[in-house]
Structure 1
Amino acid sequence: MKNRLISLDVLRGLTIMLMTVVNNPGDWGNVFPPFLHAEWHGCTPTDLVFPTFLLIVGISAVLAMPTRKNTPEVRQKILIRTLRIFTLGWFLFFFSKIHIGSLEGLPLLGVRLLITAVVSAALFTEYDRKKQLYVVSGIFLGMIVLAFGGFEDYSTVRIPGVLQRIAVVYAVISFLYLNTTPRTQAIIAAGLLLLYWGLMTLVPVPGFGPANLEKGTNLAGWVDNLLLPGHLWASAKTWDPEGILSTLPAIATGIAGLLTGWLLQRPVPAQAKAVNLLLAGAGGIIAGWLWGQVFPINKSLWTSSYVLYAAGWGVVSLAVLYYLIDVKGWKAWTKPFVMFGVNPMIVFFFSGIVPRVLTAIKVGDPADPSKEISLQSFLYKHQLAPLFADPRAASLSWALLYLLFWFGVVYVLYRRGVVVKV
């Protein structure tokens, strides 16, 4: 864990911690507003989580490859990492759809967990790179066959997702970083944001009429439904918040990370770096807000104004952390956040598996012995929620207890010096 930028690890840790909390309320019907996404246009603290991840991906690409060696080995490493991240994210959507013959209940859950153990071991473990490429590619191609090979159980498995978008953005910006200058990267980012703005506000939507930014009738949603019918977000079915067209501006978010990494590498005093980061972040917030007056800030559409606004807040956060930790040397408080920050993928992946397991386990319903409910519902509704007068406080308490559980996991990994990379 030597030679890491502690402020970046802390920002990554804070982001993964907030993600764990907002993704795991006890009751989605009772959540404090800051822990919910904006209903459509607008931005809440929760809406800043994902773009901050992408920003960090870009920064990390610069810090991990300071010499920019564009060799076959480096390109292969990027390809393997891309496939690993994409496959991990996609497997989360496969987990609950896995069926073997007539197996049901705990036996079926056992099979799903066994398959998860095999897949995660293959994707998280470091071994010979050539062998790793074959193994990861094999798993990825196997999932493609299941999704598109006429197998009913997997015919509606979602394809886009958070890790999938991270994988695509990582691949694109890594090759941009290896082959272009910061100036060219900034021009490409600006071009992507302007292109997306033009597409979303000027191009008529087939079957719906003039360009618009409404749910399900905008151009991004039309492209999603055209290219990935039946494989989209279950809550919408006809469009996806991590869809195809909106990945273009998401790449610009990753490029903002590259440019931030470049600022961190400039040969200037640390205090000047902090000031430069603060000014750049503030500029992004202001520019995003201003653009948002005509192209609304919207996380689901990943609008160009949202890219600037969210990246701005991410860079400002890093500037503050960099000043406090790397300039002033105030590091005593950072360890809990660093623990999450050095092992984010373990938390991301398995914190998505655990709720699926708790939902799959059925127990008797104390309110109606003739019925069964999930173990998660039993623990929350009949054990935790009755302790609180405010259902929103109960819901948040469940999320915080879940975060505490993961703190125990990352604490053990940290104490043993285990850093799981993907």
Structure 2
Amino acid sequence: MSLPTSSPNRFLSLDVFRGLTVACMILVNTPGSWAHIYAPLGHAKWHGWTPTDLVFPFFLFAVGNAMSFALKKYDAPLAKIFKRTALIFLIGLLLNWFPFVAWSGDELVFKSLAKLRIMGVLQRIALCYGLAALIIYYFKPKGAIIASVLLLLGYWGLLLTCGQGDPYSLEGNAGLFIDKAILGENHMYRGEGVPFDPEGLLSTLPAIVNVICGYLAGDYIQRKGKNTGTVIRLALAGLVFVALAYVWNSWFPINKKIWTSSYVLLSAGLAAVILSIFIYLVEIVQWKRGWYFFEVFGKNPLFIFVMSGVLVKIYGLIRPEPGKGFYSWFYETVFRPLAGELNGSLLFALFHVGLFWLLGWWLDKKRIYIKV
């Protein structure tokens, strides 16, 4: 989702915001040990939220920001939208399958497509990007606002009417039954101990609104320019969203795993507030120093994120000791003795953030900007 570096309307603050989200995605996805992480770096158990729960919707918001620049430049917008959506979805599917073999006892065996997870982070990004782009293309920004309201209210209605028992529970939410019926249990995530996909089909609907909100914010700052008034209005809009999220939370709990509509308002609102702060500091105050670390991630966000996933999958193939993968061996041999369980786990994650920063830095120095 990178923008060409030659774009005359490029906002450094948007690169910084996008880069921050990518760096945080790598940080929270690669702890040395999932049993030893600081609470803010883990997801909420169910209802509620932590800073980690904001990372993915912030990335979707950043996708919308980039779209506000790029969509206007497409010569054949529909073809570009469908091509990009299909490619990102396919990359996500291949990443789920990669490295195509896995350990079974002491031998490597081919990973069966019969148990391939269909959805995932990249697949949700693809669908949210594609559907948001189509909504904006056909209905324009004003129509996209109406569509967003309908998506958030409609999703609430679907959970209430199609769920079983507690419609906001792991076992009773309607998305679970839809995913089982369409995707099948063998093609779903099992991180909760049962087949349940936090990037499932139904919960993708409200996530589209995160992209639309990012688009509207990006379009607004382009039209109104880099000034204090723009920053204040964007921040106030974000705070209103946060307030509405907490009001709605009384009836429709904030929940990342089923991507509730109140969660969309919270995450989009906080994204707008943080982006407004970056715009003020970078574009208005002209505080240019110190942002390059995040700017590097923001120039090749999708590629760097994919490569971080590829490396973790490769770790799984390497066995320095019988029965032990390189991932846990690396943490236990280097980082845990160096800093202890919690700090060592954090240091392991920070090491990988730094590693992929070096990749992004090298790409930037070579002026290589990989776009899908």
Q: TM-score scaled to structure 2, two decimals? A: 0.92
1:75 aligns with 2:82: no
* C-alpha deviation, 1:252, in angstroms: 1.4
In structure 2, give the amino acid aligned to 1:278.
A
Separation in structure 2 between the aligned mates of residue 8 and residue 98 of structure 1, nearest angstrom: 39
1:44 paired residue number: 50
**Alpha-carbon spacing, 1:418–1:269, altered in 2? closer, same or farther (3 Å):** closer
Residue in 2 that maps onto 1:138: none
Amino acid at match of 2:270: W
Other-structure match for 1:129: none
Which residue identity is paired with 1:57? V
Residue 199 of structure 2 aligns with an amino acid whose one-letter code is E
Instruction: Report if aligned partners of 1:42, 1:296 keep a CA contact under 8 Å in 2.
Output: yes
Residue aligning to 2:18: 12
Gaps of 5+ in 1: 113-151, 365-370
Match of 2:32 in 1: 26
Q: 2:352 aligns with which of 399, 402, 420?
A: 402
Q: What is the aligned counterpart of 2:317 among 356, 360, 365?
A: 360
Q: Does 1:161 align with 2:120?
A: yes
Q: Does 1:306 align with 2:263?
A: yes
Partner of 1:2: 6
Aligned-partner residue type, residue 156 of structure 1: K
Matches of 2:317 and 2:225 in 1, distance apart? 54
> Distance between the aligned counterparts of 2:222 and 2:350, measured in 1?
36
Aligned residue pairs total: 361
Alignment partner of 1:245 is 2:196: no
Q: Deviations over 1:40-91 (max 9, x none)?
A: 0001110001111111111211111336x6x6x2211111111111111111
What is the CA–CA distance in structure 2 between the aligned matches of 1:219 and 1:269, rounded to whole Å?
43
**Could you tell me which residue of structure 2 aligns to residue 60 of structure 1?**
66
1:200 is aligned, of 140, 159, 164, to 159
* Inter-partner Cα distance in structure 2 for 1:204 and 1:60: 35
The aligned residue for residue 219 of structure 1 is: 174
Moved more, 170-179 or 31-40: 170-179
Q: Is the 8 A contact 1:280 1:315 kept in 2?
A: yes
Letter of the 2:352 counterpart: Y
Please show how residues 118-197 of structure 1 align to structure 2 within 5 Å. Answer: 153-197=112-156
Larger Rg: 1
Q: 1:231 aligns with which of 180, 183, 187?
A: 187
Match of 1:127 in 2: none
Q: Distance in 2 between matches of 1:269 and 1:91?
A: 40
Pairwise mapping of residues 309-388 of structure 1 onto structure 2 (< 5 A)?
A: 309-364=266-321, 371-388=322-339
| Runs of 5+ unmatched residues, structure 2 | none
CA RMSD of aligned residues (A): 1.9
Matches within 5 A, 1:262-301: 262-267=219-224, 270-301=227-258
Identity, in percent, stands at 36
CA drift of 1:258 comes to: 2.0
Residues in 1 aligned to 2:139 and 2:173: alpha-carbon distance in whole angstroms: 33
Q: Moved runs in structure 1, 4+ residues, more than 6 A?
A: none
